[in-house]
Amino acid sequence: MKFCSQCGEQVIQRIPAGDSRLRYVCEHCHTIHYQNPNIVAGCLPVWEGKVLLCRRAIEPRLGYWTLPAGFMENGESIEQAARRETVEEACATLRNVHLYMLIDVPHISQVHVFYRAELASLDFAAGVESLEVQLFEEADIPWGELAFHTVRRTLECFFIDRRAGDFPVHTDCLPASRPLKTT
């Protein structure tokens, strides 16, 4: 950040009084510019035991499979964001939506939140951010072609929970960046 979004003057980095972190501060209008993590909201849509995945039509990870998810917008709840992303990426509507997975991803300043839900119907299709969408049995999940660690972790938990017949809310924290397995 170079300029203040309030007055347009240059900003400097310093630790404001009463704070403990380096922040961008405008010495002209005294605005402190806080930078906070982004929330990624998504869904794990299921139909008769199969999971709906989307093949990404955009970067990052173009061509890889993911759960429908994306950045939360101002003015919406996390669940609303997850539902919106499912419509945008898979043209699908949901029912029985339940909070399922919260994963901190501190090395990229994000928090990923996934809901477990049922597809309301088989009326789904690739949205503008997807090359294709498809229902997968557990044995057919393209594990080596998943776009993100958070998607892999969410799917792993889901299949373990499904076998146990219990779906608790999970929390996790990914360590610093690591290569995604491609096997």
Residues 17 and 80 occupy one common structural domain? no
Model confidence pLDDT, tens digit, residues 105-124: 999 999 999 999 999 999 99
Of 45, 8, 44, give the one whose Cα is nearest residue 27. 8
Within-domain flag for 182: no
Calculate mean pLDDT across residues 85-98: 98
Residue-level pLDDT at 183: 40
| Lowest-confidence pick of 26-30, 87-91, 176-180 | 176-180
C-alpha–C-alpha distance, residues 20 and 23, integer Å: 9
CATH number at 75 reads: 3.90.79.10
Within-domain flag for 51: yes
At 94, list the tokens: 């949901």
Calculate mean pLDDT across residues 126-131: 97
At 8, list the tokens: 């347009």
Mean pLDDT of the chain: 95
Within-domain flag for 23: yes
Residues 91 and 5 occupy one common structural domain? no
Residues 1 and 89 occupy one common structural domain? no
| Segments forming the whole domain that contains residue 160 | 38-173
C-alpha–C-alpha distance, residues 90 and 129, integer Å: 9
* Count of the separate structural domains present in the chain: 2
Residues 51 and 130 occupy one common structural domain? yes
Within-domain flag for 180: no
> Are the beta carbons of 115 and 80 closer than 8 angstroms?
no
Model confidence pLDDT, tens digit, residues 38-48: 999 999 999 99
Residues 88 and 118 occupy one common structural domain? yes
> Are the beta carbons of 12 and 24 closer than 8 angstroms?
yes
Residues 62 and 138 occupy one common structural domain? yes
Reported confidence tier of residue 180, pLDDT bands at 50, 70, 90: low
CATH number at 18 reads: 2.20.70.10
Within-domain flag for 136: yes
Within-domain flag for 183: no
Residues 42 and 85 occupy one common structural domain? yes
Reported confidence tier of residue 174, pLDDT bands at 50, 70, 90: very high
Within-domain flag for 181: no
Residues 107 and 44 occupy one common structural domain? yes
Model confidence pLDDT, tens digit, residues 48-62: 999 999 999 999 999
Rounded to whole angstroms, what are the CA distances from 125 to 7, 75, 88, 98, 144? Answer: 45, 27, 10, 23, 23
C-alpha–C-alpha distance, residues 97 and 45, integer Å: 9
Residues 59 and 105 occupy one common structural domain? yes
